[in-house]
Chains A and B, each alone.
Chain A
Amino acid sequence: MSEVTELLAQWNSGDPEARAQLIKRIYAELSQIARRYLARESAVVDLQPTLLVHEAYLRLVDIDRIDWAGRAHFLAMAARVMREYLVDEARRRNAQKRNGGVQVTLADPSDSAMNPATDVVALNDALDRLQKADPDRALLVELRFFGGLTIEETAAVLDMSPMSVKRSWQVARGWLYQAMNPDGI
């Protein structure tokens, strides 16, 4: 049994110390992978976040030896780690920004509106508020957005039907959008 698999098993059985250690390990691993992707030469990064998470996962644990519940936990945690990592990165960048961003959007034809560069820090704050009122839904957002899981994967992790995940995700997006843009659409 690898070290991570062992930590997972301990966490599953309720050891809080195992969780902290696990996060540390995964964080380091994910950061390394993320950095490698972000620094990649290619101008266009066709990055599949789910693959990224799976890659980290595969590197960390012996996948056959872990039950589904463990995997679900792991993915949820990986999503959390990703969130923390990206929010930290965004804060760091914001601190470095000299002029502050000029709010210019070049519309992207494929969307109703080109999203201004998603403000991850603002999203993080809104998500914190959502977490207080509806923690399950906040977790779903974490899995979908930060973890990059598909509807089906999210459904499996949360043990919900894909239809309910889809509805819940849609409502969460609407709520978050309202929370981040109080002036309306």
Chain B
Amino acid sequence: MASDNQTRRVLALCDEALEQPVESRDEFIANACGADTTLFRAVSSILDAATAVDGFLADSAMTWASNDLTGQEVGGYHIQSLLGEGGMGAVFRATKTRDGFTQEVALKLIRGRFAAPELIDRFNAERAILARLNHPYIARLIDGGTDRGAPFLVMEYIDGQPVDEYLDERQVDIDGRIRLVQKIAQAVHAAHQNLVIHRDLKPSNVLVTDDGIPKLLDFGIAKLLDDANDSEPGNTTVYGRSALTPDFASPEQLLDNRTTTASDVYSLGVLTYRLLVGVQPYYLERSTQRAVLDSIERVAVPKPSERIASLDDPDAQAKIAANRSTTPARLNARLADDLDRIVMKALAQDPAQRYASVAAFNADLERFLCGEPVEARPDSLGYRVRRFVARNRLAVGFSAALVATLIGALAITSRLYLQAEQARADAAARFDQVRSLATTMMFDVYDEIEKVPGSVSARRLLASTAQRYLDGLQSSDDAPFGVRLDAGLGFARLAAILNRQAVTDVADRGDASTAYEQAERLLLSLEREAPGDAAVSLAVGELYAERARQQLYIDNEPEAAGSTLDSALERLQQAQTVQPDNVDVEAARLMALEIRADRFKWLGDYSAARDAAIDVATLAREAAARHGTDPRFSRVVGDAEQLLGEAHYYLDGYDDAVAAYTAAIAAYEQAIARGGPDRAITDALVTAQWSRGNTRFDMEQAAAAADDYQVAIDLTELVVATDPNDAASARQLAILKGSQAMAWVKTGRRDEGIARMLETNAWFEAQAAADPDTASAQRSLAVSYYVSGDVYDNAGDSQNACRWFRRSLEKWQAIDARFGLAEFDAGEPERIRGVLADCD
């Protein structure tokens, strides 16, 4: 223990050091201490602590004492003990007893009150979004509200340790640390898919339970608190009261207060750095806010493998290595090259230079662990892999709350616009700005999100937000022409969005119709007002095309779709006459023509479908050549060729069908090359590959068919990997594997084929078990059993074949008893009995 004399000397030196200008402080300490490294270390550590540990003793003792609400009730929760406290409030362990069982929670009481009722609404709305974040590695937000005017949040109580302590205490090695980081990354990625950005990732926000399960705390809470904090006057500093931690915050967060998924990538990079290396990549000068901003701009991040060596203290180096069950030299060797590259890529100053998503970062860590070349290494990956990893190349750089804010601004400016006659010009200008911003957010952003697998709930949220926005726009009846056209287009887009969602979710269908009707009413009134206006004609034409799509693909009303398509094409023809060079009009018209061709197929008229598809493909191919970068025309070519393939299959023979499918595949690949990764086009590409495979299978070209299936499987596996919750893709994958199983057996790859088939069976069995009350899940299993029998039969194993046929029959009988058989399936048991007659 240091003597009082030594302590005095250290303290005096600290005082003097603080009198020096920031930039010469280190030099001053070094000079003053000379060779006395103990003194140097003592002074440095005190100054580090003084600047880095902001919250320590920040509140006075009485505030601390008054925070201790032990024994009191808050929001129906019984406060048990104080867990922690800080500038924004205090966190308690609390319990609630309901129906005889006691729930243990962490309750966060936020200091301050909401001045305005709107803020309470916003707080509650945002809270509802966060409450939907459901991930095994994210501490759930359970409840919240206000009690006697004070806002509070209730979170899952985690009995765990901060991640850095946890890892050090157990001396987890680098690979083990990476695996934990990967779990954290999974959680962050899942949140990003729900458009929630953490904004404050750091070790104290990641607790690890005794079982080694990480739990991320306070997801999105930073934003929530920031919003609540708006109620306090004088809150003008860039980050002064903003909820972030400078040493973990990205440059753009500190400099522009701009937070995107890319900022989380950065913070995750800092966290990873800290967990791998044991120290921060850098410590920002914290004396003033200006100093923070200056130092983040100047900061040069040392490579992880060089950081430990830069510590002067050999004991500290040895300790860091020991905590990773290794030696300093070995640790540096493990970090060098690939890990350096991965971490440095996440820590790029420019967000565009970082990993495009947390998933991409995670994937690179996985490659590192598997000894594969990492993405961060230049030119290491083949075109196809890059292309599909790039599918996630999307920084969802906004949150739904931002949209909500814009809508608030819109409502205000729109009221101003209508009320204050004299301020009309000003208000109109602001209104226009906000409107265009909101429209961009709503729709361009929607398009981007839609390309990301697994963003269904985010999409739904955006759609409902859009609805509110449009209702606001529409209510201004005396709004100018352009505004009403925007609203009409908005409703049309909304209808399209809801339609696509309706394919998987029946609940959205009614909303889609309502949006459609509102759009039609607005746009037709504009058409009466300005007959012949190309923009209006285009809007009406696209609306009718969308309506026809709904009638055809969702409502199964091909007759109605026919007349709707005629109306659509009439408008688009009209628009094209007025503006022959308008590329949007041309694209819309070709898409409508493609739907019309597809409609013949739905009517069973393959001959008409074939002729129409050839026409559309020719027109679209010619347009695609003229508009070299526009993916829409390539997409139409693909759709038309796919239709043509189907028509040829039934009418003309397999060779023509294969040629058409091949053309469709090429067109889709061109569309992806032009427009970047797109989920819908990928799905279409998978279908085309599968169809070509099926055709080749029928042509007795089983090996070629198996190759087609393999491409489709690879593509689908990438989709499933990025979003395990995408049930439709998982199902598609199982079906593709079943198809491939048969193809393999036919080509003599008997064992592989049977293994594949059993894989497929297992998947359908799991689905059926998880969903025992759904007929379709049981039906799929019955079909899968039958196909298994078929596979064994083709493999020459009649005993197993009979076994699976029998199981299929039993399944069908069970379905019949429980649900009854659909007309389509009614003959199935009898047919299988016929097959079984050949068994003993």
A contacts, CB < 8 Å to B: 34, 37-38, 41-47, 49, 52, 82-83, 86, 89, 93, 97, 101-118, 120, 123, 130, 132-134, 137, 141, 144-148, 167-168, 170-178, 181, 184-185
Contact = CB atoms under 8 A, between A and B. Distances in A.
Name which of B56, B60, B74, B245 has the most chain A CB atoms within 10 A of its CB: B60
B84 A106 contact: yes
Q: A82, A110, A117, A181 — which one has the most chain B CB atoms within 10 A of its CB?
A: A110
Given A106-B108, A113-B53, A43 B83 contact: no
B810 interface: no
A111 B57 CA distance: 11
Most chain B CB inside 10 Å of its own CB: which residue of A83, A93, A171, A176 = A171
A185 B49 CA distance: 6
Given A106-B218, A177-B49, A112 B65 contact: no
15 contacts: A43-B74, A44-B113, A104-B159, A104-B207, A106-B91, A106-B155, A106-B218, A109-B88, A111-B87, A113-B245, A117-B82, A134-B8, A148-B62, A167-B19, A171-B11
Given A114-B84, A118-B57, A106 B217 contact: yes
B373 to A, nearest CB: 36
A29 B504 CA distance: 69
A23 B160 CA distance: 44
B84 A171 contact: no
Interface in B179-222: 199-200, 202, 204-205, 207, 217-218, 221-222
A128 to B, nearest CB: 12
Contact of A47 (B63, B86, B91): B63
Interface stretch (B28-36, B40-48, B576-584, B656-664): B40-48
A89 B62 CA distance: 12
A167 B83 contact: no
Contacts of A134: 7-8, 11
A108 B55 contact: yes
Interface in B299-347: none
B533 to A, nearest CB: 51
Contacts of A147: 60
A145 B200 contact: no
Nearest to A148: B60
Contacts of A175: 7, 10-11, 14, 46, 49
Contact of A115 (B18, B55, B61, B225): B55
Contacts of B46: 171, 174-175, 178
Interface residues of B, number: 83
Contacts of A86: 61-62, 64-65
Given A109-B221, A109-B225, A115 B86 contact: yes
A140 to B, nearest CB: 12
A171 B61 contact: no
Nearest to B82: A117
A112 B245 contact: yes
A141 B61 CA distance: 11
B393 interface: no
B85 A133 contact: no
Contact of A107 (B19, B159, B160, B202): B202
B218 A113 contact: no
A98 B58 CA distance: 29
A106 B48 contact: no
A41 B45 contact: no
Contacts of A167: 15, 18-19
Contacts of B86: 108, 110-111, 114-115
A102 B209 CA distance: 12
Q: Which of A37, A109, A181 has the most CB of B within 10 A?
A: A109
Q: B interface, by DSSP: helix, strand, loop or mixed? A: mixed
A144 B58 CA distance: 10
A46 B111 CA distance: 8
Contact of A89 (B50, B65, B246): B65
Interface in B13-31: 14-15, 18-19
Nearest to A105: B84
Contacts of B609: none
B84 A82 contact: no
B4 interface: yes
Contacts of B225: 109-110
B54 interface: yes
Most chain A beta-carbon neighbours within 10 Å: one of B18, B88, B202: B18
A173 B56 contact: yes
A173 B59 CA distance: 12
B241 interface: yes
Nearest to B50: A174
B106 interface: yes
* The 10 nearest A-B residue pairs measured at CB: A109-B243, A108-B86, A174-B50, A111-B55, A49-B62, A148-B60, A110-B87, A174-B46, A133-B7, A45-B66
Contacts of A177: 49-50, 53, 56
B52 interface: yes
A171 B200 contact: no
A176 B14 CA distance: 13
B159 A102 contact: yes
Nearest to A163: B19
A27 to B, nearest CB: 15
A176 B7 CA distance: 12
Contacts of B54: 111-112
Contacts of A170: 18, 50-51
A82 B19 CA distance: 32
A168 B217 CA distance: 35
Contacts of B45: 174, 178, 184-185
B69 interface: yes
Interface string B70-94: 1010100000011111111101010
B60 A174 contact: no
A32 B365 CA distance: 60
B204 A114 contact: yes
Contact of A174 (B47, B84, B205): B47
Contacts of B222: 109
A16 to B, nearest CB: 26
Contacts of B109: 43-44
A141 B56 CA distance: 12
B62 A47 contact: yes
Contacts of B243: 109-110
A82, A114, A123 pick with most chain B CB within 10 angstroms: A114
Nearest to A116: B84
A47 B66 contact: yes
Given A43-B109, A47-B63, A109-B88, A101 B81 contact: yes
Contacts of A47: 62-63, 66
Contacts of B818: none
A138 to B, nearest CB: 11
